[in-house]
């Protein structure tokens, strides 16, 4: 969706009604009494809220008409589950619900499959986090979220990690107008620098050996043959094989 687009899912966004908080609360009271007309009016009056939330997801390549519809499902759930006895603004409650519904949709349509139990645990953890943020006025710790849910903190960590979206190795992480740094540039190699330097030196050292020394080392250490077997194959004595082997290894070590 371009930001200047005025129609989404057939709805003219420029004409969307914006309700005052007092109007929302009055409609919510009527909804709780089973007033379907009030429910429809409340949904219509909060579509701008859905629109503002889905703009956070505009860079994911998703169809924004689909995201808008999913966001509306989150809005409807917010209306149906909102507790009017709590001293909380409706939008404070609705926004996390809408975001959660969109994220669940994105996870379910992700190419990397995550089990339903993990997704549900992560969804509950995010809801608990939002509740604790409102209560504590700060980001809660993993321990506090786990305590809120009554589960081990390890389960919370695993669930939240499981729903993290995969990042392309070619995604840029920094650019100063010149060379761009990509994710792949920051991925560490399990091979120590000293290891690959040693490997280069070893190959260079072997190159400097004469053909007979190379053949002896190859037969001894690549083919696993004994000195006697090597001696018989290249038609020299076992003592000569031992001497040539020691000489070759000494050259490599000294290099």
CB proximity list for 115: less than 8 A, separation 6 or greater: 162
8 A C-beta contact, residue 107 and residue 62:
no
8 A C-beta contact, residue 98 and residue 75:
yes
Domains along the sequence of the chain with CATH:
7-162 (1.20.120), 193-254 (1.10.10.10)
| % residues pLDDT > 70 (the chain) | 73
Q: Is the pLDDT of residue 168 over 80?
A: no
Residues 78-96 have a mean pLDDT of 85
The pTM of this model reads 0.42
Band (pLDDT 50/70/90 cuts) for residue 60 is: low
Residues 151-167 have a mean pLDDT of 76
**Distance separating alpha carbons of residues 112 and 118, to the nearest angstrom:** 13
What number of other Cβ atoms are within 10 A of residue 29's Cβ?
A: 12
Band (pLDDT 50/70/90 cuts) for residue 15 is: low
DSSP H or E stretch at residue 59: none
pLDDT in tens, 175-233: 555 555 555 555 555 545 455 556 666 677 777 888 888 888 888 877 778 888 888 88
Query: For the chain, what is the mean pLDDT?
Result: 77
* The two three-digit tokens of residue 129, written as one number: 């986090």
User: 28: closest CA among 12, 16, 14, 41?
Assistant: 41
């Amino acid at each position: 969706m371009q930001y200047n687009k005025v129609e989404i899912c057939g709805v003219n966004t420029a004409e969307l009604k914006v309700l005052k908080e007092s109007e929302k609360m009055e409609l919510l009271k009527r909804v709780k009494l089973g007033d379907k007309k009030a429910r429809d009016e409340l949904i219509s009056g909060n579509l701008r809220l859905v629109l503002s939330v889905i703009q956070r997801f505009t860079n994911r390549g998703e169809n924004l008409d689909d995201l808008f519809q999913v966001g509306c499902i989150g809005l409807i759930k917010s209306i149906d589950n909102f507790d009017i006895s709590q001293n909380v603004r409706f939008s404070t409650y609705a926004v996390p619900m809408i975001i959660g519904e969109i994220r669940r949709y994105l996870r379910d349509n992700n190419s990397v499959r995550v089990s339903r139990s993990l997704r549900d645990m992560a969804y509950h953890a995010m809801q608990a986090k939002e509740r604790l943020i409102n209560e504590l006025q700060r980001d809660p710790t993993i321990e506090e979220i786990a305590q809120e849910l009554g589960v081990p903190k390890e389960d919370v960590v695993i669930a939240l990690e499981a729903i993290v979206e995969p990042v392309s190795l070619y995604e840029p992480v920094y650019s100063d107008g010149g060379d761009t740094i990509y994710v792949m540039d920051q991925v560490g190699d399990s091979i120590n620098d000293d290891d690959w330097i040693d490997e280069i030196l070893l190959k260079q050292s072997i190159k400097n050996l004469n053909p007979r020394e190379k053949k002896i080392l190859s037969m001894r250490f690549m083919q696993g043959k004994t000195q006697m077997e090597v001696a018989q194959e290249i038609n020299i004595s076992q003592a000569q094989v031992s001497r040539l082997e020691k000489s070759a290894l000494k050259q490599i070590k000294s290099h």
